[in-house]
Amino acid sequence: MKILIIAYPSLKKDPRPYRQIKNLYKKHELHCVGDSESGLEFSFYKLGKYKFYIEIFRIFLLKFGLYEFYYWDKFKKKILNSLKNQDFDLVVAHEIRLVPLALKIAKNAPVILDAHEYSPKNFDDSWLWRFFIKKYYTKLCVDNLPKVDKVLTVSPGIVDAYVKNFNTQTVLIKNACDYAANLIPSKLDPDLIKIIHHGNVSSSRKLELLIEMMKYLDNKKFQLNLMLVSGASTNLYLKKLKYQAKNLNIVFLNPVKREEIVPFCNQFDIGVIFLPPTNFNLKYCLANKFFEMIQSRLAMAIGPDIEMSKYVKKYEIGMIAKDWSAFSLANMIRSTPLSKLIYYKDQSNKYAKDLSSINDNLNFIELINSYKNAQKI
């Protein structure tokens, strides 16, 4: 089949579209649109975007209801023009904001939306998002979800939300990562237990709680390592975090390449993911980093969330705090015996293959092949 994948980020750096590309490029004629190419596609078209400060001004268009004018910027028009003579058998659009473009390019071909989030409540904890953007994203969903053939998304809670509110055919494809068959748990040093958190910087994620956690831990025995990715809109928040971390045993690490995250994090002991449910998507979060930390063979330390806690309990791979306070998180880590930490790391090792992307990849390939089989009928 001739397939088009459309995504905003770098196709090589964003793990979700990159996994799809890896699963498809050998057996299909695969074309891609994105910020930068994966290196595996048949052809690539760059989707540009405005600088952050320009986008800030453009957002005012949404407040005045100028949705079409806002949407069809020069970058999308360029892509549309570049692909106007192409006919695809299937188009996969990552995120609702690319679905109108995907539908025009697809013509009569089916479009699949890969929804990384529940779009109508993307950043509901932000008054700026609620004031300027919420109505626009809701309209994108109302207008375009009935036109897509299927929706893929990342957690059971988000699946339920799309089905309940938009009556979509929605399929769960988790954000699990590749199986790291060559890794085993690193040896735990009882004199220095190393904790790691990695991911994007966002004030919604309340990363300051991790820094506060270190105030309740023995800083000679515990070290927190933060490997954070920041951008123009979050640099100020990152500076605030670094200021709060002064005089604590906290190390800010330079981010490594996507494919290096799992082996790099293998040197640590505890992977901490503590994301209070400040918005709908964090409430039902089943984070890519969660599965990466399992592949790194770490003991997991999480909050009392809905989705990740199911896996922590079922596979006995870590600890779950009693509440969303930094004290509760620290107390849980401090009171866990070394023998239990070693056990959790061994459990991550035992179930690493089961909790990898193997089954999700097979489910995705089967879904894509169903369109190929439908063409033959």
Q: What is the CATH number of domain 2-174+357-376?
A: 3.40.50.2000
Length of the chain equals 377
- Listing from the earlier edge strand, what are the strands of the sheet with 270-273? 250-253, 222-229, 193-200, 270-273, 299-302, 318-320
Contact 296, 225 (CB under 8 A): no
C-beta neighbour count of 80 within 10 angstroms: 13
**What residue ranges do the domains of the chain occupy?**
2-174+357-376, 193-350
Number of H helices, E strands in the chain: 18, 13
User: For the domain bounded by 193-350, which CATH number is listed?
Assistant: 3.40.50.2000
Measuring CA to CA, which residue among 8, 3, 50, 10 is closest to residue 27? 3
Evaluate whether 2-174+357-376 and 193-350 have a shared fold. Answer: yes
Query: Could you identify the residue written with the tokens 């459309």?
Result: 6
Per-residue pLDDT of the chain (377 residues; tens, 9 = 90+): 999 999 998 888 889 999 999 999 999 999 999 999 999 999 999 999 999 889 989 999 999 999 999 999 999 999 999 999 999 999 999 999 999 999 999 999 999 999 999 999 999 999 999 999 999 999 999 999 999 999 999 999 999 999 999 999 999 999 999 999 999 999 999 999 999 999 999 999 999 999 999 999 999 999 999 999 998 888 999 999 999 999 999 999 999 999 999 999 999 999 999 999 999 999 999 999 999 999 999 999 999 999 999 999 999 999 999 999 999 999 999 999 999 999 999 999 999 999 999 999 999 999 999 998 766 55
What is residue 35's three-state secondary structure? Answer: coil
pTM above 0.85, yes or no: yes
Joined tokens for residue 20: 């799809």
